[in-house]
Amino acid sequence: MIKIGVIGCGFIGSQICAAVDSGVVAAELAGIFDFSAEKVESVLQTLQNSSPQKTMPEEMAKSCDLIIECASQEAVLKYAPMILEHGKDMMVLSAGAFQNPDFYAKIQKTAADHNCKVYLPSGAIAGTDGLKSAAIAGIKSVTVTTRKPISGLAGSPYLAEKKINLADITTPTLLFEGKATDAVVAFPKNVNVCATISLCGLGFEKTVVKVIADPTISDNIHELEVFGDFGHMKMTIENKPSPINPKTSYLAALSAISTLKRITDPIQIGV
């Protein structure tokens, strides 16, 4: 059984730990870490069958086979190179960290040099399967439109920079339209989906992102539109937000668990 370590004990981390603990995924939960000791304790209290070590990522990189980042883009920048240098596989949820081409190239090289893998779940969006296939023949345009309730956008750096007060927004309002490169910096906890879509398709510089604050909805809605030699793809997903972190959709945690199942299952389905 593979030994997994989890960095980040918030919504996604706690769901992953619960899935491993309950046997949904055939793996051993060997280590957990969060810079909030309280978050670590709250996850530990929910576990019935697992006794992971409370451990720093540097220790996890020695004792675990696969380390899952579900913390923040900063955590990816800080820990991913070190983990891969230990020859250990990683799963990354905060995919926006890869918008820096030098960092992405470094991760690709380190993983290749140490014969290990970096898994990016599809997260809170659907359509990565079709997009990856379409990209083989050539894609002309990719647009991701993210529409979130006001509570899901609070605290984004872009709002402070542009002096936007979310309390003033009473109708659906386009806050941002631009490149994925800039979107993941402006909304680091909201549009990791567009980072994943960029990596599947046209890249960060050519993927267009729109972020809409919508006080009339309660779901996190992502729309993906792709034109290419394959034809035209349009996908809309209406995600239930996590009850403990409204920025994050429930599907994001499920996609991490599903990716873990794919890694551990002998039969592989889908692209």
Ligand X SMILES: O=C([O-])CC(=O)C(=O)O
Ligand Y SMILES: NC(=O)C1=CN([C@@H]2O[C@H](COP(=O)(O)OP(=O)(O)OC[C@H]3O[C@@H](n4cnc5c(N)ncnc54)[C@H](O)[C@@H]3O)[C@@H](O)[C@H]2O)C=CC1
Q: How far is the CB of 253 from ligand Y (least distance, A)?
A: 7
User: Among residues 218 and 230, whose Cβ is nearest to ligand Y?
Assistant: 218
Choices 22-30, 67-75, 136-144, 152-160 (CB under 6 A): range interacting with ligand Y: 67-75
Asked if 8 is part of the footprint of ligand X (rule: CB under 6 A), the reply reads no
Residue from 17, 61, 71, 83 touching ligand Y (CB under 6 A): that is: 71
**Residue 224 contacts residue 125 (beta carbons within 8 Å):** yes
3-state class percentages of the chain: helix first, strand second, coil last, to nearest 5: 40, 25, 35
Does 220 bind ligand X (CB under 6 A)? Our answer is yes
Pairing of strands 207-213, 173-179: antiparallel
Candidate list 39, 147, 148, 210; residue touching ligand Y; CB under 6 A: 39
Is the Cβ–Cβ distance between 226 and 131 less than 8 Å? yes
Angle at alpha carbon of residue 163, lines to 161 and 165, rounded to 5°: 130
Chain centroid offset of residue 111 CA:
19
Pairing of β 2-7 and β 66-69: parallel
H or E segment and range at residue 137: helix 128-137
The reply to whether 222 belongs to the active site is: yes
Q: How many CA atoms lie within 13 A of 186 on its CB side?
A: 20
CA 92 to chain centre: 6
Q: Which does 4 bind (CB under 5 to 8 A by kind): ligand Y, ligand X, none?
A: none
256 is in an annotated binding site: no
Q: Determine whether the annotation assigns residue 61 to a binding site.
A: no
In the complex with ligand X, which residue's Cβ is closer, 80 or 183?
183
> For the chain, how many residues are written?
271
Determine which one of 86, 114, 222, 232 is catalytic: 222
Complex with ligand Y: residue 93 or 139, whichever CB lies closer: 93
Which of 88, 147, 189, 210 forms a contact with ligand Y (CB under 6 A)?
A: 189
Choose the contact partner of 13 out of ligand X, ligand Y, none; CB within 5 to 8 A by kind: ligand Y
CB 64 within 8 A of CB 31: yes
The order of strands in the sheet holding 139-148 is: 173-179, 207-213, 139-148, 220-228, 231-239
Examine residue 10 and tell whether it contacts ligand Y (CB under 6 A): yes
- How open is the CA angle 224-226-231, to the nearest 5 degrees? 135
**Residue placing its CB nearer to ligand X in the complex, 66 or 191:** 191
Choose one: 4-12, 29-37, 97-105, 242-250; the region binding ligand X (CB under 6 A). 242-250
Does 148 interact with ligand Y (rule: CB under 6 A)?
no
Return residues touching ligand Y (CB under 6 A).
Answer: 7-13, 34-36, 39, 70-72, 74-75, 78, 93-95, 123-124, 189, 192-193, 196, 245, 248, 252
Return residues touching ligand X (CB under 6 A).
Answer: 123-124, 189-193, 220, 239, 247-249, 252
Binding site listing for NAD(+): 124, 192
- Residues assigned a catalytic role: 222
